[in-house]
Amino acid sequence: PTSVPTPPAPIPVPSAEEEVISKPMSNAESILDKSAKPSLSWEELKAIEGGVLLLESEDIESLQSELQQATEDLLSGGINFDDDPAGRRLSKELAAASEGFTCKGARMAIIATSWAQFEKRSSLALKTMAGRDKWEFLKSQGVMITDGAPVPEAAKVAHMYPGQGSQYVGMTHDLSLRYSSVAEVWNRADKTMVDILDGETLSSFVLRSDLSDEEKKEAERKLKQTEYTQPAMLTADLAIDSVLSDHGRLPDMVAGHSLGEYAALMVSGILGMDGALRAAAARGTEMGSVVIEDTGLMASITADYNIIKDVLSTIDGYVIAANKNSPRMTVIAGDSPSVKEAIRRFEGLDITAVILPTSHAFHSTIVEPAAEPLRKFLDGLEINLPEIPITSNVDGTFYPMNRDENRTPKEQILDKLAPQMSSPVEWTKQIETMYKAGARVFVEVGPKRALTMFANQILEDKPNLSVMTNHPKFGGVASIMNALATMAIAGRPYRWPRSDSPVLTEGFRAGPLEAWESAVVESKATKEEKLETESQVVSEEIIEAAVVEEVAVDTADWLATILSAASGYPAKFCYGQVNLKTGLGMNDEAIESVLKSISKQVEVESSRDPASFNTAFEIIEWIKGVPDSFSMPQKSTESKVVESQSRVAEKTVQVAPKDHRKSNPYVVTGVSLGLPGDRKVFDEDNFEKLVRGETCIQEVSDDYKQKILDKKIVRLIKGRDGQA
């Protein structure tokens, strides 16, 4: 039941303090783009800040002088973002100080994610950089120094994409808050996978950093399940690749390890992103669906490959080198008895052997039953010849790039791709193939650093540069900055996006909420304005308003006016379980001031500790009453609408002409809230109950429970259209 008052009713317009929430402080240097809308707090932004200082000079001595001057200039430039939400952003200042870097002579890079860290690392460098024997130590501290020749211009860059086993909960989350492309990659992945995962999204449990211990355990458990792991890892690889692309770093050739080959297929142009994700999901599903008596075992062996090959040749059963990762590390796979026997023999030679927690012996003939269904699935995808060279796991050579007159591009590609799941991974040969083709810079594009280590081992006697881009130990932002810095001083400089570039997320460009919310305090106004509605004609000079009465208010209303004045938010947002800090943006000092003011005006519950209060509802329970003299204007109730109509001519409100008043494009026309319970769904005071934190939940009757049980429902799936 709903009624609409017929007289011209006043529509609440955001007061001046609400409007200025969208206006930045005039002196806030932390706001990189004043046209952007803020969404991140100061603490959230500090967690994703960071940049690189690049310097060069003729020799190390003059480079040290350059660093001394640059440090003085940077640290004396005014209030910084570490100390004030309106302060100077490190990412912007380091980029500006690095302009003109050409990678000549002696050069250095300092990676820092905070001003304090920059000051510490710069000080350390100034003290020790004169000694070449300290450079390796400085590198471990985020300071890179060299005066050697850069990588030749003709040298090519290879991107390597890791596969299953490198995943972790939270991978690329910080990057998604800073780079628009990362968020977009995950959004696209969610759109593709939501149907495949029965309505669930990958980002809902991967892009998280706020999980409780129990929630994190559950997310980690889920991420170990093949049907989730494979598309999640593929998405993370592609997300990190997008960041490198944002900075102008593109590959000359690509390769992916096991599942990672699907990321390489997408980057090379063989598959589109949707096809790569669906293929990865199908690969995981087919892998997990293999039902045989012995699903086999896999084990990691750390030893010279020739020794491993000799030991395996003495085993009677089926066991092979499934992942030929490097000359020093191999993963074996086969039937369970044979793998166990191999492990026993390796241990007898004092060789480390560790059984891997996999559901099947992948990259062996044990999972061959899944190969044919996977090929049929792949055959239904759009498959093209690659636009850039890509090596294959199956034989370590490049996929064909030129069309065979007698075969379709799809047939040419599937010859190498279809058997990949049940064939050994020839990773060592892949790296050697790319090296022969001119690759000298090998960038691991994805979580952790397994492939970086393998590349170093494979090419240890040859000149090369192997770089990782993401590791949970360092964080996504610090890791990618480290990678960019490493390549820059080696002769592969990067492009830094402008401060207002859409490459950066709107939240990152807008600066912290505190830099905008501070303006609320400075620009408060109390004038209330009214907007005309489309359903009525309103005079340019005079607007008739429904009668407003003075009525006594309860504790919640009184508190709401106080919290509104302290926070700058409208009183209607200051009820119930709203959190004083995260919901209203109040700091400890503001909350303490409000509580002191309340205790002076009214009687409070002395047995309760106000220092523990987090919500408006807790304060209400603390207060015993409100001042007798307090009242606030309330709109007339439905029962008084008719009376209001008869008096409306006598009580009109003079309002400034429409052209002379502010307007706001956002108008709240309704609120939708769920109301559990079957008998009081339409009670008139339900909205007030919910806003004040009360619950309308009631227990389902035993009869109704039995009705549901009698339906024998095993699984109920809610579709995207809302229908179950």
The residues assigned a catalytic role are 258, 363
Return the H-helix or E-strand segment holding 229.
helix 226-246
d(CA 317, CA 339): 9
- The encoded tokens of residue 303 equal 């030893």
Rounded CA gap, 181 and 238, in Å?
10
Distance CA 216, CA 707 (A): 36
Tokens linked to 714 = 């095993």
Q: How many CB atoms lie within 10 A of CB 614?
A: 15
Which residues are registered as beta bridge partners of 80? 88
Coil/strand/helix, residue 249: coil
Q: Coil, helix or strand for 334?
A: strand
Q: Is the four-CA dihedral 468, 471, 473, 478 of positive or negative sign?
A: positive
Q: Are strands 542-544 and 652-654 parallel, antiparallel or unpaired?
A: antiparallel
Burial of 587 per CB tally in 10 Å (0-12, 13-18, 19+): exposed
Give the residue among 170, 145, 148 at the shortest CA–CA distance from 47: 170
| CA 373, 379, 385, 386 torsion-angle sign | negative
**Pairwise CA distance, residues 358 & 340, whole Å:** 15
Q: Is 489 in contact with 108 (CB distance < 8 Å)?
A: yes
Token pair of 633 as six digits? 């204007």
Cβ neighbours for 42, distance < 8 A, ≥ 6 positions apart: 85, 512, 513, 514, 515
The pair of three-digit structure tokens given for residue 353, joined into one six-digit string? 């052997």
Q: Is 422 helix (H, G, I), strand (E, B) or coil?
A: helix
CA-CA distance, 585 to 564, in Å (whole number)? 11
**CA triple 49-273-160, angle to 5 deg:** 65
Query: Which residues 6+ apart lie within 8 Å of 646 measured at CB?
Result: none
Query: Taking the alpha carbons of 56, 57, 60, 62 in that order, is the dihedral positive or negative?
Result: negative
Structure tokens of 687? 């909205």
Q: In what order do the strands lie in the sheet with 143-146?
A: 51-57, 106-112, 143-146
Helix (H) / strand (E) element for 654: namely strand 652-654
- Of 724, 164, 107, 682, which is closest to residue 450 (Cα–Cα)? 164
Spatial neighbors of 43 by CB under 8 A, at least 6 apart, are: none
SS3 388: coil
SS3 readout for 159-185:
EEECCCCCCCCCCCHHHHHHEHHHHHH
Structure tokens at 312: 């395996």
Decide: helix, strand or coil at residue 55: strand
For residue 615, list its beta bridge partners. 579
